[in-house]
Amino acid sequence: MTRAFRRHLYSRFMTVVVILFSFTAVLALVLILGDLVAKGASSIDWAFFTKSPVPAGQTGGGVANAIVGTAIIVGLAALIGVPIGVGAGMYLAEYGSGRLGFMVRFIADVLNGTPSIVIGIVGWTFLVKPMSKFSALAGSVSLAILMIPMLARTTEEMVRLVPHSLREAALALGYPRWRTSLKIVARTALGGIVTGCLVGIARIAGETAPLLFTALGNLNFSLSVGQPMQTLSLQIYVYATGPFDEWHRMAWASALVLMGLVLVISIAARWVTRQRYGSVR
């Protein structure tokens, strides 16, 4: 066996190892999605989407309260978080070359890794403790805080993809910088910015930890943002850690719905930028 042959054999061997390891990593995804469908699909019917939970021990009921709650809390969070996050991202892309830009960029990256449970207890301090009342609004604010640094970075990245020549052309035509920024640059990058927002929404839609002490959860149907409200993620947590088989069944079904929601938003996010940038980096 020559040395060269051994080296090539080793190269082949390592390639196989890399493929096997990668396969293992992707296998986890396949297993989780498979289990969600296998254990959750059978419990999903019309009542699941239209009814509120029934008292423990009884069968039937649904998670309409949690589905509506998720939509309200996440929607409100997006309403608060998107302007600030996108605005900060525009700043980073347009004026972010200085020291403040560097600092904001760095802090955004660091905040991106901040444990969401910590944001939850800080949200509790500001919005629950003073009013001595848990509320959906407190949950939304916590989720918005989670969303802002992520949006800032993706917006910046997308805006930076806009060719400089476009900007120069607008400025050369006598456009002021702010109009260039909003009407030319931001509009060109709009698809990318929307993608960033959708990815952010998909992420906060599945968050549980920041809601534990803010939105709290609510077994009844509620539309009031000043009151505790249920989300799918909170419902899954309660059902999965509870003692009843019926609850476990509902947990799987709720998880399937939540996962479906997150997947649809994630795929929509990629679809928005599909034509413009060709492929998702």
Partner 1 sequence: MTSLPNLPIEGIPSGRPSTETRWQSLLGADKSDRIYQRILTGFALALPAMILILFLVLLINALPAIKAFGAKFLVTSTWDPVAEVYGAAPMIFGTLASSLLALIIAVPLALSVAVLLTEFAPRSLRQPIAFLVELLAAIPSVVYGLWGVFVLIPFLRSYVVPPLKAVFGWLPIFQGVFYGNSLLAGGVILAIMIVPYIAAVSREVLLAVPGSQREAALAMGATRWEAVRSAVLPYGRAGLIGAVILGLGRALGETMAVTMVIGNRHDIGVSLFQPAYTMAAAIANEFSEATTSMYLSALFEVGLILFVLTVIVNAVARILIWRVARGTAVGSRAL
Name residues contacting partner 1, limited to 241-280 (CB under 8 A): 241, 248, 251-252, 255, 258-259, 262-263, 266, 270, 279-280
Q: How many Cα atoms sit within 13 Å of 200 on the Cβ side?
A: 30
List the one residue from 25, 57, 164, 165 that touches partner 1 (CB under 8 A).
25
Q: Which one of the spans 47-55, 57-65, 117-125, 218-226 is the region binding partner 1 (CB under 8 A)?
A: 117-125
Q: Is 242 exposed, middle or buried (0-12, 13-18, 19+ CB in 10 A)?
A: middle
272, 195 contact by CB (below 8 A): yes
Nearest to partner 1 of 1, 46 (CB atom):
1
Interface size with partner 1, residues (CB under 8 A): 106
Q: Which one of the spans 51-59, 71-79, 167-175, 220-228 is the region binding partner 1 (CB under 8 A)?
A: 167-175
Nearest to partner 1 of 46, 275 (CB atom):
275
Q: Which one of the spans 48-56, 57-65, 123-131, 218-226 is the region binding partner 1 (CB under 8 A)?
A: 123-131
Beta bridge pairs of residue 229: 216
∠78-159-174 over CA atoms, to 5°? 115
How many whole angstroms separate alpha carbon 224 and alpha carbon 148?
24
169 binds partner 1 (CB under 8 A): no
Contacting residues for 186 by C-beta, under 8 A, at least 6 apart: 90, 159, 193
Within 50-69, the residues that bind partner 1 by CB under 8 A are none
How many whole angstroms separate alpha carbon 159 and alpha carbon 126?
33
List the one residue from 119, 189, 201, 272 that touches partner 1 (CB under 8 A).
119
Q: Which one of the spans 25-33, 46-54, 56-64, 135-143 is the region binding partner 1 (CB under 8 A)?
A: 25-33
Query: CA 231 → CA 69, 157, 219, distances in Å?
Result: 5, 31, 10
Within 205-224, the residues that bind partner 1 by CB under 8 A are 205-209, 212-213
Task: Give 45's DSSP letter.
Answer: S
